Amino acid sequence: MQAVGCGGETQSLLNADQPDLLSSLRILDIDWLWHRYLQECCGDPAGLLERCASGELELDVLVVEGAVSTGSQAGLVDRSLERPLGEWIERLAAVAGYAVAVGTCASFGGVLASGRNPSGVTGLQFDGARPGGLLGAAYRSQHGLPVINVPGCPAHPDWMVGTLFALISDGLALRDLDRYHRPRVFYSKLAHHGCPRNEYYEFGSSAEEFSQQGCLFENLGCKGTQCESDCNERLWMGRTGSCPRGGFPCLSCTSPHFPDGFAPFFETQKIGDIPTSLPLDVPKAWYVGINGLSKLACPERLRRNAVSFKRVGPGAGGQSSEEGDERAPDDLL
């Protein structure tokens, strides 16, 4: 079901490559009943949905992309459906074997629920980090699971296809979901893990401007140390890229607090020299204590490259700095 959103999950799903989307559907033996933008049904989408809601047509998995408006403007998003979208989702979720929210908007409200949110936009079973949403905290599907959230802005195609595979093979249980009902297999790590800038991070060697080589956490707003996902290990765009690999700070888009909880995006809020948003994988006191020592131990190579727009020193494109030529090899560490 296409609720209120940008369609980013659909675009991301079309980029599935191991295997591609059509091969995935064949392998999983999925009969895709309807998608507003990718296929046409019998010409009567309301009739199709009514058959599902009444139990005439079995609905194994209900997948919703986009947030749902519950306020005074809920209305009809798609006139061909003949009734408000939220009402359809409630009826279909009641009979579905599983309900899946793909993308941060469907999971938690996301970008559309930011600010004053006059339309009452919410996720399927969470309103931000609070249980509730359209279906309520007590909702359980026919197989006894809450809404399975696959957040991301957008979600990685592997996360969506992998979740469908787990459901169809009965390989997903309540114990496999985290506190926000996300599959642990995809959301138990941090985007920080696998980041190519981690050597700079470990020594507190930070970029001061975009396009420099250093860590983006200390000055430029990167939230990779708080983003629960495997982005930097799974990679995007033909398995080659991620936000930090492209020089862009992680915005922690898989979090129920995105986006308002992580603004401003491109600068790091601090108290003194200490960021107010500290890494999730180390005790806060430990980070504060060790950060200063790490900077003192920072190799000169990292210190110089962190604020450079291209690698400098020996081994950088065959060019050596004047200082590098005069130093012993051990000093280059």
Is residue 219 within 8 A of residue 208, CB to CB? The reply is yes
| Residue 17 is assigned to a structural domain of this protein | yes
168, 92: one domain: yes
Which of 187, 209, 237 is at the close of a domain? 187
Strands (E), 20-125: 61-65, 68-69, 98-102, 121-122
| Residue 117 is assigned to a structural domain of this protein | yes
Tell me how many domains the chain contains.
2
157-168 helix and 21-28 helix, angle to the nearest 10 degrees: 10
Close Cβ partners of 55 (under 8 Å, ≥ 6 residues apart): 95
47, 159: one domain: yes
134, 270: one domain: no
212, 76: one domain: no
214, 131: one domain: no
Q: What is the pLDDT along the chain (333 residues), one digit of tens a residue?
A: 999 899 999 999 999 998 999 999 999 999 989 898 887 666 788 999 999 999 999 999 999 999 998 865 555 556 778 888 899 999 999 999 999 999 999 999 999 999 999 889 999 999 999 999 999 999 999 999 999 999 999 999 999 999 999 999 988 999 999 999 999 999 999 999 999 999 999 999 999 999 999 999 999 999 999 999 999 999 998 899 999 999 999 999 999 999 999 989 999 999 888 888 889 988 877 787 788 888 899 999 999 999 999 888 765 654 444 444 334 344 434
222, 133: one domain: no
Report the candidate in 248, 219, 194 with the shortest Cα–Cα distance to residue 306. Answer: 219
| Residue 260 is assigned to a structural domain of this protein | yes
Residue 135 tokens read as: 């279906």
Helix (H) or strand (E) holding 233: helix 231-234
52, 32: one domain: yes
Close Cβ partners of 34 (under 8 Å, ≥ 6 residues apart): 41, 45, 48, 49
CATH code for position 163? 3.40.50.700
| Residue 157 is assigned to a structural domain of this protein | yes
| Rounded Cα gap, residues 333 and 328, in angstroms | 10
pLDDT of residue 124: 98
| Residue 271 is assigned to a structural domain of this protein | yes
41, 167: one domain: yes
| Residue 314 is assigned to a structural domain of this protein | no
> What radius of gyration, in Å, describes the C-alpha atoms of the chain?
23
| Residue 70 is assigned to a structural domain of this protein | yes
| Residue 306 is assigned to a structural domain of this protein | no
> Domain range for residue 132?
8-187
